[in-house]
Amino acid sequence: MPEESWTVLKLLQWTTDYFQKNNVPEPRTSAEVLLAHVLAEDRLFLYLNYDRPMETTELAAYRACIKRRLGGEPNQYITGLQEFWSLPLRVGPDVLIPRPETEVLVEAVLEFLDKADPNVDILDLGTGSGAIAIALARELPATRIVATDLSMAALRLAQENAKLHQVDERILFVRGDMFAAIPIASQKFKVVVTNPPYVSHVEILELPREIRDFEPHHALEGGPDGLAAIRHIIAEAPRVLCQAGALFMEMGAGQAESVSALVLERQMYRSFHIRKDYSGIDRVLVAEKI
């Protein structure tokens, strides 16, 4: 970025062009998100203040953001924020960036519990940033949630997010591996919800560098075929589900047939269906326990 007089509009135009030349995805959006972050404002502010001159310190901070983005780092890790279920969440390299398709999990749980007593217990396996647990806690004020993760750094971030959205007193965050983290062995849940690792070893190498090189692999890799965690969850969920409870689990594109076969093989579920995401991709397993 050459040294000269800059306004918001001029800077956005220059950065968009620069990102385009360097094959940065969604160049204009990236330019706006990063500049809004530097100015501690929202993107609407930029549109209403195109003629605002940029200060030297702001330009320096923006240059640093541009450099990180050119290196492949996602906007969300640079800004430290991502929206999920219309809630701003803190994110960082210790957790996956919450994605819109995961909101289908939340929708499915809410529809299921709409027909039941909302005063129920929910288990969120591999909570990461806490996105799913926090969204459900906001929508279901009488619900109690246990949220687990193997990463202590992820749990600390999830706790911060829960406190930010004033649901920290209704979510118990527990460190541990999947079902081994459940604090009371005899506790039963109406819902088990999870977005497990489901990317195969081969697929990891084919991911965009923003994901492959920056997001935590332990939260992405699902073994040689991508189904290692999914197999374990389908097998073990009935043990902690109460009668007529249900498992809600995200899956990868193209995994629906394999996941369906795993459910049928266990013979522990009375019914199941697979729900599509907003792009029409089979995305969420809903399986009710016998």
Place of tokens 């249900």: 246
What would the CATH number be for the domain defined by 8-71? 1.10.8.10
Cα atoms found within 13 Å of the Cα of residue 214, Cβ hemisphere only: 19
Return the ∠ at Cα 275 (arms to 214 and 161), rounded to 5°. 45
Residue length of the chain: 290
Residues 6+ apart with CB under 8 A from 221: 197, 199, 200, 201, 204
pTM of the shown model: 0.92
Mean pLDDT of the chain: 94
Return the ∠ at Cα 250 (arms to 248 and 255), rounded to 5°. 120
Residue 209 φ/ψ region, left for φ over 0, alpha for ψ in the -120 to 50 degree band, beta for the rest: alpha
CB 250 within 8 A of CB 83: no
Place of tokens 């209704």: 170
Pairing label, strands 87-90, 81-84: antiparallel
Place of tokens 């591996």: 177
Query: Under CATH, to which class is 84-289 assigned?
Result: alpha beta
Map out the domains of the chain as residue ranges. Answer: 8-71, 84-289
List the chain residues with pLDDT less than 70: 1-4, 115-118, 185
Q: Compute the radius of gyration of the chain from its Cα atoms.
A: 21
Give 207-265 pLDDT, tens digit per residue.
999 999 999 999 999 999 999 999 999 999 999 999 989 999 999 999 999 999 999 99
pLDDT at 194: 98
The number of helices, as runs of H, and strands, as runs of E, in the chain is: 12, 9
- Structure token digits, residue 128: 């990461």
